Structure 1
Amino acid sequence: MAHRISAGALVLREEKILLVRHHRTGRHDFWVGPGGGVEGGETLEATAERETLEESGVTIKVRRLAYLDELWSDTEIDVTANPAESESIIEANWFARDQLPSGHLFPEPLRDRFWSDLQTGFAAPIKLPLRRLHF
């Protein structure tokens, strides 16, 4: 089984979170913080910083790890396609908590738990339950 290590960023500005929309008609449509696969010997922090700039044009400096999210899939992942040529980002935007987009949103805690976790400061990364990736 191939493994892919990725890092994403939860970027906040004026109490709004930066999200990018991945859309491919008939395949997937979801919002997520900018992120992607680790390249070479990159750290998770360097990956999140690079991916945020590539996907949104926003320059960031990572402060801490927030969540560890493990996903699995029945389909084979092409770990050599990094960055993926089939990138399907169609927009990026800032969202207040009460204005988050409907539909699929990742990571799952963004709709509720994230905002209280943010108040406590993420003293240590929070491990999320193992989930199956559906697309």
Structure 2
Amino acid sequence: MSAENEKDNDWGKSAAAVVIKDGKVLLVRHTYGAGKGLLIIPGGYIRKGELPDAACEREVLEETGVTVKAEKLIGVRFSDKDWYSVFTASYVSGEARSDNDENSEAVWIDAYEATERDDVPDLTRIMIQSALKETGFVQTDFVSRNKDRIQKLYTI
């Protein structure tokens, strides 16, 4: 992550994606922190002024070289210091590859196998299971009284 991007991050907000293509899920092997050495879904911090779905798409591309389109919101984790949103995302293009920074590899693994692996942490496992259910909140169009702000509404 470049120093330029670091100053633009909103450190209390992050987004990630579960990308499933042909029954396989896209995972990255993390190189730092609590997730070091584990296979996790790609994601990261939201930049100031960026919406979570756009951050999800950007982070997947930066970390894996794969272009995706965010679809359903399938999970939100809240803590006393931050929040984390997870979307399903459809594959658009690209070959999975490591960013050689935040991850040491980007791989496609059978989605059901991934939920049984010891090197896949609980949060990633739960999000993959949620994506496999094919349910979640979808973006719903609406007209807001405050038309000068970009807003998105997700509903069941």
> TM-score normalised to the size of structure 2?
0.58
How far the C-alpha of 1:93 sits from its partner, in A, is 0.6
> TM-score normalised to the size of structure 1?
0.65
Aligned match of 2:50 in 42, 45, 49?
42
**Which region of structure 1 is more displaced relative to structure 2, 22-31 or 64-73?**
22-31
Map 1:41-60 onto structure 2 (within 5 A).
Answer: 41-60=49-68
Report runs of 4+ in structure 1 exceeding 3 Å deviation.
Answer: 24-27
CA RMSD in angstroms, aligned pairs only: 2.9
Whose RCO is larger (CA < 8 A, sep 6+)? 1
Map 1:2-41 onto structure 2 (within 5 A).
Answer: 4-24=12-32, 28-41=36-49
Structure 1 unpaired stretches of 5+: 74-86, 126-135
**Which region of structure 1 is more displaced relative to structure 2, 48-57 or 14-23?**
14-23
Letter in 2 for 1:65: L
Cα distance 1:68–1:39, how it changes in 2: closer, same or farther (>3 A)? Answer: same
How far the C-alpha of 1:26 sits from its partner, in A, is 9.7
- Number of residue pairs the alignment of both structures matches: 108
Letter in 2 for 1:114: S
How far the C-alpha of 1:21 sits from its partner, in A, is 0.8
Q: Which has the larger radius of gyration?
A: 2
How far the C-alpha of 1:30 sits from its partner, in A, is 1.7
Map 1:74-113 onto structure 2 (within 5 A).
Answer: 87-100=101-114, 101-105=117-121, 106-110=123-127, 113=129
Structure 2 unpaired stretches of 5+: 1-9, 82-100, 139-153
Give the fraction of aligned pairs with identical amino acids, expressed as a percent.
28
